[in-house]
Every structure is written in structure tokens, then in C-alpha cells.
Amino acid sequence: MDPRRTPLLAALIATTALLAAAGSAAAADVTVTPRMVDDLKAVIATVEPLHQLLARARIGGTVVKLMIKEGDRVAAGATVALIVDPKIALQMAALDARIQSAGAQLDQARLDLNRASELQKSGTTSQSTLDQRKTALEVAEKAFAALKADRDVVAQQATEGSVLAPAAGRVLTLATTEGSVVLTGETIATLAEDRYILRLALPERHAASLRAGDPVSIASRDAPADSSVTEAAKQGRVRIVYPEIQGGRVIADVDVDGLGSYFIGERTRVYVPTGKRQALIVPANAVYVRAGIHYVQLKGGAEVVVQPGEARAEGLEILSGLTVGDIVVTP
């Protein structure tokens, strides 16, 4: 053999071995076996706040200012409206005058007690007179303290004219306008708590299979009607399944992160597990289309027409065309 051709022959042999190895790595045989999968049901869920909160008037009066409008986000404890009752200012003025009068009586009672104490030391007045002066001073002190407490109550009522947001959230509706007269406890605004959930209403036959903690897939807002669960944009979990059937439907709430940009009442498609079933799953790349018909290739070269089903994370479900034990060749 020509020594100059030996390196070329070695390179050709190495290349052939690499191609053979690559071909064996790129192709794989999959034996069709049944496996248990979640039976997913596509349903419509509604975006709801975890709690709807009411900002109520704590005093009666006239709404002089509204600090919010529909759609605004408010922090917990923020002032949403200001209510003024003119009678409160009059009550405070009357109490201030009474406090001044009680203060004067208190000062006079102290002077009378001091005078009686000096006279009693010199023997000019009796012990009973001194006791009367002490009692009069105690009565004056308690009357003065009671009036100050009454003024504090009225001052607190004045501060309660500020209607506060019970929690952070978004304003849904306003129930009043500036200049309106409201009563104590009347609703000023309705707020959606700044935490949203998805509310499901499933047929009651699924009540036994739905459990708190079950995973739920949520389709994106712009997903087409024929999109599959593999195209879901978000994942969530069932938070609670309510123990009451309403109108033949079981109600459940789903916790999902990132719902803050959704509208209250917006509807979106979700995929909920409603049980388990057996399915034949093959790799998605094992199915190819020719002339609008789906095929898979079996070991030995035979082509089989199949009816594909739902696309899942682990592969493509085959509804018909394959039987258990078939060996599918994947490219």
C-alpha cells in the first residue's frame, strides 16, 4: 500500500464511524405503552379580587371633598373622602366654654380649701367645714375632667370625618358625590383588594375530583381558541373549593401570580385536572404531516395514519392508529 494514502484512508474510516454514531444518536425507537395522565378540562374563569372592601362613613354629614375616582389605586389607610358635620364645631365651642367655667370653679375650690385649712390651723373654723371644702374640690376636679373627656370625644368625631381605605387596592365604584349628605355607616366607595384570584364554576360532577392544591394552567390573554395546554402562559394552584353547590356548579378559587394587570370580571381560559385516564403518548417529532394527514413510522419502515389528540409537556397524545406495543421511530 502506498504510504501516502494511509492517512487519507484513516480519515475516511473515522468519518464513517462518526456518521454512523450520529445517525444512531439522532434516531430512537419508542415503544408505545399506556400511561396515566391528568384529564384536563378547558373552562372559563373570572378574575375576582380576593376580597371586596367597603369604605364607609364613620359620621354623618356632608361630603365636602372626594380624593379618588374610579380606577385609582389607593394605599391602606389613605383618605378617600372628607365629611364635615357643622354641629361638631358648635359642640366643641360649647364644650370649650364649659371647660373654662369648670376651670374657674376648680380654681375657686382650691382657694376655698386653702383658706379653710389655714383657718382650721388657727382654730377659727371647724373640721367639718374643712371636709366640705375638700369634697367641693374633688367634685370640681371630676367635673373638669369629665368635660375634657367629652371634648376629646367630639374631637375624635371630627377626625372621623376622614373616610379611610380599609386596605390597599383599586377603586371600583363611588357611591356618592361632593355635596351629598351621608349617614353614619353609609358606603362611600367600593374597593378591590390588591390581590386577585381566578374563580371557577365547574359542573358538579367534578366536585369529587377537584382538590385544594391541584395545579391549574392559565392561557394567555391573546391565546387563540384552539391553543393547547402546552401554550399556557401562567401556572396556578387551586386555593379553595367551596363546600356549596350553586346552580349545579362547584365554585373554586385559584391563586395565580401576576393578575394585577387584569380587569375585575375579565374572563380567561384555564385548564383544570378533573381526574386521571390512560393515554398513548409519543414524542411530538415522531408525528409528521403529508397531504393533511398525520403519520408515524413504525420500526420496519411501515407508515401508520394516526389521529393526534392533545399536546402535552411529555409529548403528543394519539387517539387512534397505534396499539400498545407498537415501536415508533423518531427522527
Looking at the structure, tell me whether residues 112 and 140 fall in a common domain. yes
Give pLDDT, residue 278.
83
Measured CA to CA in angstroms, residue 30 lies from 26, 193, 281, 331 at distances of 13, 51, 10, 11
Q: Tell me whether residue 91 is in a domain.
A: yes
Tell me the three state secondary structure of residue 253.
strand
Q: Do 98 and 155 share a domain, yes or no?
A: yes
Do 75 and 108 reside in the same domain of the chain? no
Whether residues 143 and 166 share a domain: the answer is no
Place of cell 381605605: 165
Rounded CA-CA distance 60/171 in Å is 22
Residues facing 28 on adjacent strands: 330
Q: What is the pLDDT of residue 233?
A: 65
Residue 282 lies in a domain: no
In terms of residue numbers, what domain contains 178? 52-85+161-192
| CATH at 120 | 1.10.287
**According to the model, what pLDDT value does residue 225 have?**
59
Same-domain status, 101 and 152: yes
Q: What is the pLDDT of residue 280?
A: 86
Q: How many DSSP H helices and E strands does the chain contain?
A: 3, 21
Give the position of cell 421511530. 329
pLDDT at 228: 58
Q: Judge if 146 and 167 occupy the same domain.
A: no
For residue 49, list its beta bridge partners: 196
Q: Check whether residue 100 and residue 149 sit in a common domain.
A: yes
We report the CATH number of the domain holding residue 165 as 2.40.50.100
pLDDT score for 281: 86
Count of alpha carbons within 13 Å of 108, Cβ hemisphere only?
Answer: 10
Lookup: cell for 148: 375634657
What cell was used for 50? 380576593
CB 268 within 8 A of CB 219: yes
User: What does each C-alpha distance from 54 to 85, 104, 245, 262 come to in angstroms?
Assistant: 21, 47, 27, 21
Tens digit of each residue's pLDDT, the chain (331 residues): 444 444 433 433 443 343 333 344 345 788 888 888 877 788 889 999 988 999 999 999 999 999 999 989 999 999 999 999 988 888 888 999 999 999 999 899 889 888 888 887 777 778 888 888 889 889 999 999 999 999 999 888 888 889 999 999 899 999 999 999 999 999 999 999 888 899 999 888 888 888 888 888 888 777 665 565 555 668 889 999 998 888 889 999 999 887 777 888 888 888 888 777 888 888 888 888 988 899 888 888 888 888 888 777 778 888 888 888 888 888 7
Q: Is residue 211 part of a domain?
A: no
Grid cell digits, residue 228: 393547547
